[in-house]
Amino acid sequence: MGRCNTFKIAIYLLLFFSHKPCYASDPIAVSDGRYFHHIIPLADQTQKKEQFYTGDLASKQASESEIWSAVKSSFALPFDQWLKKEHSSEWRNLISGFSGGLSVGFPLTKSTTAVGEGREGDLSTNNISYSASLKYKPLGNWFISAALIEYETKELQKPWNPDFVYTFGYSDWRPYTISLVYANYGGNRLNPSRKNNEEATVFKQGAWLLGWKFPVPAKYSKYITFTEAGRLGCNIGLSIVPEYFDAKESEYKKWKKTLSFGCKYTISGPWYVNFTAFHYVKNSQQQPWNPDYTYGFGYFDWRPGTITVQYNNYSGNRWLGRDAANGTGVFKSGGLSISWSWAF
């Protein structure tokens, strides 16, 4: 039995037999191979361990002191956590902080044509993919994570479609906090080919992501939401890539900078829609595969042991009046994913 078939069977079995253990203290993010996934809007579910309710916060406007207090608490290093033993079992204490997920991605279309060059290309995928991710939080909201990815049709895997991805940094689910994350989703290879001049990874081609998240008070969001239980959380972000490929001049250049503004509208419970717009500080730095905006919708449950179903479109979407690269920027350029998460 080949590696791909074994990988698929393992994921399908775990998805089928998934159970629902106790609630986790923070959202479990299943890696989806996209740079801006980590600048996420405010979590929209109750954080039971912290006794925090995003719905209560969204119903009133926070004071300036509350906002500033949250900002100052970002990047906290609670070393006292290492002295606390949350469980009676030493083994349980040892593995506490680990979480992960399994995911199957289904593109809405398959095509042998794609827009890209080298380790960079169209963020949509034209290939069924299977991924397994692992995340570890050694202290507070500091984390490191990685995911392995297998593709259904190897012939459709492009040089920029990675065998693995990895991220690390600080990401706090609380509102008004700042996040700083490094993410590398380039054409990382488990077995790089010397013949094709491949490398396992190129660290300087990853993105550094700085973000700030905030809820929109109900007295403002009520004008654009259409459900009584609806909540709106937004974020602003800055992405910096030390080295990127310029398709027009066919050479690598330095310091690509992108601003983003995104919002997630929780319709009711886990049902949501989201939208993120991007501004490239230098117009010349935007490549044909870099989108003007991305969007998605679906059923997202942050609790471990649950199933999440999502549609996401990270293709080279363009505003009206701007031409998209061939084969990008339409609804069928996106894809569906089914994910299952776990946590110790």
E strands present in the chain: 98-107, 116-117, 120-121, 129-139, 142-151, 164-170, 178-184, 207-216, 231-246, 251-268, 271-280, 293-299, 307-313, 335-343
What would the mean pLDDT of 56-79 be, rounded to a whole number?
Answer: 81
The structure tokens listed for 83 are: 């002295």
What is the percent of the chain where pLDDT is above 70?
81
> In whole angstroms, what is the distance from residue 113 CA to residue 260 CA?
28
> In whole angstroms, what is the distance from residue 70 CA to residue 62 CA?
11
Dihedral sign for Cα atoms in the order 76, 77, 83, 86: positive
Residue 35 contacts residue 192 (beta carbons within 8 Å): no
Residue written as token pair 């809405």: 108
> In whole angstroms, what is the distance from residue 242 CA to residue 257 CA?
9
Nearest alpha carbon to residue 96 among 304, 254, 288, 240: 304
Q: What are phi and psi of 200, to 5 degrees?
A: -60, -45
Structure confidence by residue, pLDDT tens digits, 173-194: 899 999 999 999 989 999 998 8
Q: What are phi and psi of 64, to 5 degrees?
A: -60, -35
Is residue 97 very low, low, confident or very high in pLDDT (cuts 50, 70, 90)? confident
Is residue 81 very low, low, confident or very high in pLDDT (cuts 50, 70, 90)? confident
For the chain, give the mean pLDDT: 81
> In whole angstroms, what is the distance from residue 211 CA to residue 297 CA?
21
More confident position, 91 or 152: 152
More confident position, 143 or 304: 143
Q: How many domains does the chain have?
A: 1
User: How much is the pLDDT for 113?
Assistant: 67
Is residue 304 very low, low, confident or very high in pLDDT (cuts 50, 70, 90)? confident
User: How much is the pLDDT for 36?
Assistant: 38
In the predicted structure, residue 34 carries a pLDDT above the cut 80: no
In the predicted structure, residue 54 carries a pLDDT above the cut 50: no
> In whole angstroms, what is the distance from residue 75 CA to residue 64 CA?
20
CATH number of the structural domain spanning residue 95: 2.40.160.40
User: How much is the pLDDT for 60?
Assistant: 61
Domain extent for 182: 3-343
Q: At CA 314, angle to CA 202 and CA 229, rounded to 5?
A: 125
Dihedral sign for Cα atoms in the order 82, 84, 90, 93: negative
> In whole angstroms, what is the distance from residue 135 CA to residue 133 CA?
7
Residue 161 contacts residue 201 (beta carbons within 8 Å): no
In the predicted structure, residue 325 carries a pLDDT above the cut 90: no
What would the mean pLDDT of 329-334 be, rounded to a whole number?
Answer: 90
In the predicted structure, residue 268 carries a pLDDT above the cut 70: yes
Residues forming beta bridges with residue 256, ordered by sequence position: 241
User: How much is the pLDDT for 329?
Assistant: 86
In the predicted structure, residue 61 carries a pLDDT above the cut 90: no
Residue written as token pair 């706090």: 172
Query: Could you tell me the pTM of the whole model?
Result: 0.83
